[in-house]
Amino acid sequence: MESNSVSPMPELAPIAEFDKTPPTPPEDTLPMDDLPPPPNTVVNVQEEKEKEAEAEAKAHRHYEDENEWGCGSWLEYTVVVVCASILLLGSLALTLFWVIQYRGGFAWREDPEREFNLHPVLMVAGFITFSGFSILLYRICRCCRRIYVKLLHTIFHALAIPCVAVGFLAVLDSHNLSSPPKPNFYSLHSWIGLVTMGLFALQFVVGFFSFLVLLCCEGATAGFRAALVPIHASFGLTTFMLAIAASLTGLTQKVWLVLKPEEYTAWKEEGIIINSLAMALVALAILVSFAVRSPTLKGDTRMTVTERL
Q: Which residues, numbered 149-208, are part of the site for a copy of itself (CB under 8 A)?
A: 182-183, 186-189, 191-192, 195, 199
Task: Quote the CA–CA distance of 199 and 104 in Å, as a whole number.
Answer: 32
Q: Rule CB under 8 A: is residue 78 a binding residue for a copy of itself?
A: no
Task: Quote the CA–CA distance of 12 and 60 in Å, as a whole number.
Answer: 15
Q: Rule CB under 8 A: is residue 275 a binding residue for a copy of itself?
A: yes
Among 85, 226, 258, 270, binds a copy of itself (CB under 8 A): 226
Q: Rule CB under 8 A: is residue 32 a binding residue for a copy of itself?
A: yes
Taking the least distance from each CB to a copy of itself, the nearer of 38 and 219 is 38
Task: Quote the CA–CA distance of 8 and 65 in Å, as a whole number.
Answer: 11
Pick the piece of the chain touching a copy of itself (CB under 8 A) from 112-120, 158-166, 210-218, 299-307.
Answer: 299-307
Pick the piece of the chain touching a copy of itself (CB under 8 A) from 52-60, 88-96, 101-109, 227-235.
Answer: 227-235
Q: Rule CB under 8 A: is residue 227 a binding residue for a copy of itself?
A: yes
Rounded least distance, CB 155 to a copy of itself, Å:
25
In 3-state terms, what secondary structure has residue 57? helix
Task: Quote the CA–CA distance of 279 and 228 in Å, as a whole number.
Answer: 33
Task: Quote the CA–CA distance of 272 and 284 in Å, as a whole number.
Answer: 18
Rounded least distance, CB 306 to a copy of itself, Å:
3
Task: Quote the CA–CA distance of 102 and 98 in Å, as a whole number.
Answer: 6
Task: Quote the CA–CA distance of 118 and 105 in Å, as a whole number.
Answer: 8
Map residues 234-263 to x or -, x wherever contact with a copy of itself holds by CB under 8 A.
Answer: xx-xx--xx-xx--xx-xxx-xxx---x--
Q: Rule CB under 8 A: is residue 290 a binding residue for a copy of itself?
A: yes
Among candidate residues 241, 236, 234, 229, the one with its CA nearest the CA of residue 287: 241
Taking the least distance from each CB to a copy of itself, the nearer of 4 and 179 is 4
Taking the least distance from each CB to a copy of itself, the nearer of 108 and 256 is 256
Q: Rule CB under 8 A: is residue 101 a binding residue for a copy of itself?
A: no
Among 17, 19, 115, 173, binds a copy of itself (CB under 8 A): 17
Rounded least distance, CB 185 to a copy of itself, Å:
10
Residue type present at position 127: F
Among 101, 176, 178, 265, binds a copy of itself (CB under 8 A): 265
Q: Rule CB under 8 A: is residue 279 a binding residue for a copy of itself?
A: yes
CB 97 within 8 A of CB 30: no
Rounded least distance, CB 94 to a copy of itself, Å:
13
Task: Quote the CA–CA distance of 273 and 80 in Å, as a whole number.
Answer: 24
Half-sphere exposure at residue 36, Cβ-oriented, CA atoms within 13 angstroms = 5
Among candidate residues 188, 293, 290, the one with its CA nearest the CA of residue 246: 188
